[in-house]
Structure 1
Amino acid sequence: MSKPEPWQLSKASYPFSNVTQTRFGDMDLLGHINNVAMADLFENGRVRFNRSMGMENRAEGDRWLIAAVQINYLREAHFPDDAEICSGIGRIGNSSWDILSAAFQNDQCVATCTTTLVLTNPQGAKVIDADFRAVLEAQMVKRD
């Protein structure tokens, strides 16, 4: 795990956020949110972020696949505190992009997540067109 950049630890760096309740069943034997539950919280935040960009409205046959997910745990997260998942676009390639997310509890960053998605159609990887690229570019993280 690499040390996060200071901007990654600030909610203001991310254009989108969503608050989700943690659940009693998310805890492990040590009393903190387990790694599978944290991945689930990031997934929920990512889906809500995608929906906020209208990504459920895609061309017929188009879909995006998750190519990689990396989660870095920075401190323990606890039930019953809500988790705020903040997200933004970190990189846009030819047919792929990265969603960068951070989970916060009580205004402290507890974990970061990078998810790489690939745009595909029945023929394979598809080049991101100008309209979709503009949607992604409008949601870039602020790295100051």
Structure 2
Amino acid sequence: MPKPQSWQLDPASYPFSHRTETRFADMDLLGHINNVAMAGLFEHGRGMFNHTIGVQRRAPGQRWLIVSVAIEYIAEAHFPQHVDVACGILRVGSSSWQIASAAFQGGECKATCITTIVLTDEQGPAPLPQDLREEFERLSVKTA
């Protein structure tokens, strides 16, 4: 398992954070938040981030698709403490971008997530509009 980079473990590295509650149903038999529930927490945090930055704005016939999601589990998270999912843009390509996320509980990073998303149209990958690129630049994670 790759070791997370130091910036990934620092909530201040991320320009956006969303607090969400854990649920009793999120626990596994060992008493911690299970991996599927953690993936759902990341999905919810990423959805709130995307909604906040207006990723839904796109030309007719375009849509964005998740290409990959990579989650690294660092420490156990527990119910009933809330989880803060922090997000920011890690990389921007010609038609894709990566969102870096981290789940914090009690100020400690419990897991990290890198999601790659691509903008598409009827012909395949579509170039990112300049206004969205500028928004992504503004919301980049601080890696140094």
Q: Please indicate the TM-score interval, normalised by the length of the shorter structure.
A: over 0.9
Shift of 1:129: 2.4
What is the number of residues matched between the two proteins? 144
Q: Which runs of 4+ in 1 moved over 2 A?
A: none
Q: Which residue of 1 aligns with 2:15?
A: 15
Structure 1: segments with no counterpart, 5+ residues: none
Identity percentage of aligned residues: 57
What SS is found at the alignment partner of 1:90? strand
RMSD of Structure 2 on Structure 1 (CA): 0.8
Q: Which residue of 1 aligns with 2:40?
A: 40
Shift of 1:58: 2.0
Alpha-carbon contact 2:62-2:121 (below 8 Å) kept: yes
Q: Which residue of 2 aligns with 1:113?
A: 113
Task: Give the Cα separation in 2 of the matches to 1:59 and 1:32.
Answer: 42
Q: Which residue of 1 aligns with 2:58?
A: 58
Task: Give the Cα separation in 1 of the matches to 2:139 and 2:64.
Answer: 17
Q: Which residue of 1 aligns with 2:99?
A: 99
Shift of 1:57: 2.4
Compare 131-140 and 103-112 and name the one that shifted more. Answer: 131-140
1:31 maps to 2:31: yes
Q: Which residue of 2 aligns with 1:86?
A: 86
1:143 maps to 2:143: yes
TM-score, normalised via structure 2 length: 0.97
